[in-house]
Amino acid sequence: MTRILIIYTGGTIGMMHDPETQVLMPLDFAQILARVPELDRLDYSLSIHSFHPIIDSSNVNPEIWLSMAKIIRDNYEAYDGFVILHGSDTMAFSASMLSFLFRNLTKPVIFTGSQLPIGEIRTDAKENLITAIEIAASKIGDRARVPEVCIYFDYQLFRGNRARKYNSQKFEAFHSPNYPILAEAGVNLNYHDDQILKVPEGEFRVHESLDTNIQVLKIFPGIGPQTVQSILETPGLRALVMETFGSGNTTTADWFLQALDKIIQKGIVVVDISQCEGGSVDMGRYETSRYLKEMGVVSGYDLTFEAATTKLMFLLGHNYSQETIRNLVETPLRGELTRS
C-alpha cells in the first residue's frame, strides 16, 4: 500500500472560530481528520507528524525549514510521498527553500493549505488536502510522477520555487508567472509531464546549514543615498537581492553605482531580480543596466523574490567562494530559473 506522511505545521487549514471570541483558534490534527471523512476512502496508508506547537506561517524561519527537511530525511525510506500543511502567507518561501535543501529528491513533497478554515461550509481545505495526497501518491510504474517540491492550491499544481502568493481573497491564491503549471485537477488529474523534473540519479541528501546574512534593496524613483547606504552597510552582509525596474534597470546616478561597486569589491554578491512578476532580467539590454553588468552584478533572470532569497541563504550556507556563488545563482539547480 502506498504510504504518505502528512506533516502538519499549522495555517488556516487547521483553524476554527472560537464561538465566544470569534477569533481563529488552532485545531489538532485529529480534529482535522474528523472533518474530512473522505480520507478513509483513499487506498493509502496515511501517517501524521504534527508540529508542537503548530506555527502561524508568518513565524516561519530557517530553523523551521531545517526541521521540516529533517523530518522528511528521517522518514524518507518509509514513505512514498509527503504532504506539508502550511499557512499560505509564506508557503512559497518554504517550498522554495526545501527545493534547494533536497538534493536528488525522487519523491513528491507537496505543500498545501487553504484560504478558509476546514470547518467552514465553503472551505477550500478539503479539496486541497485530498488532491495533494493523491498527487503525492501518484506514480508511473514504480517511480514517483512528481519527484519535486510543489505547491497544490485551487486545482493547480505549481513548482514550489516558481510559485508566488498573489491574492489573499480568492481561493486562487497562487500563480506561477514564469513557468507553466505541472498539473491541473478537474474531472481527472491532468499532469503536464514534460514540465515536471525528471527523477534524478544519485543518493538523496539534505543540506543542513543556512546563512541569513542577506539584505533586500527595492529600487524606486527618488531613492536616496541615505536609504541605500543604510542597507549596504548592514553588519555581516554577504549578499544583496536588488529588486530593479523592468528587465533589470536602476538609476545610473554616480553615487548609486559607486556604492554598489564598493560592496562588490568587498566580496558581497549582488543579485538583480525584476520587480515585474512576468519576464526576466536582461542586463545590458539598456544602458541603465549595462553598468551593473560591467561591475559584476549577478543576473537573477526570472527568479521569484522567494526563490532568490532562499537560494542565497542556501548557497551562503555552503561557504562557497564569491565566484562560485555568483555562478550558481545564475545556474538552475532545481528548475527555479530559465536563462534567457
How far apart, in whole angstroms, are the C-alpha atoms of residue 138 and residue 131?
A: 10
Q: Give φ, ψ of 191 to 5 degrees.
A: -95, 140
Joined together, the cell numbers standing for residue 250 give 536602476
Q: How deeply is 250 buried, as exposed, middle or buried, from its count of CB atoms within 10 A (0-12, 13-18, 19+)? A: buried
* CA nearest neighbour of 147 among 201, 197, 75: 197
DSSP character string of 84-132: EE--STTHHHHHHHHHHHEES--S-EEEE--SS-TTSTT-SHHHHHHHH
Backbone phi and psi for residue 60, each to the nearest 5 degrees, phi listed first: -65, 140
Q: Which residue has the cell 533589470?
A: 248
Tell which residue, 56, 74, 62, has the closest CA to residue 113: 56
Residue 143: count other Cβ atoms within 10 Å of its Cβ: 11
Return all residues near 161 (Cβ < 8 A) that are at least 6 apart.
95, 96, 99, 100, 149, 304, 306, 307, 310, 311, 334, 335, 336
The verdict on whether 212 is a catalytic residue reads no
Beta bridge partners of 298: 271
Residues in Cβ contact with 65 at an 8 Å cutoff, skipping those fewer than 6 apart: 94, 97, 98, 101, 210
Residues composing the chain: 340
Closest CA to 248 of 295, 296, 284: 284
Catalytic residue among 9, 12, 304, 310: 12
Residue type, 89: D
Catalytic positions, written as ranges: 12
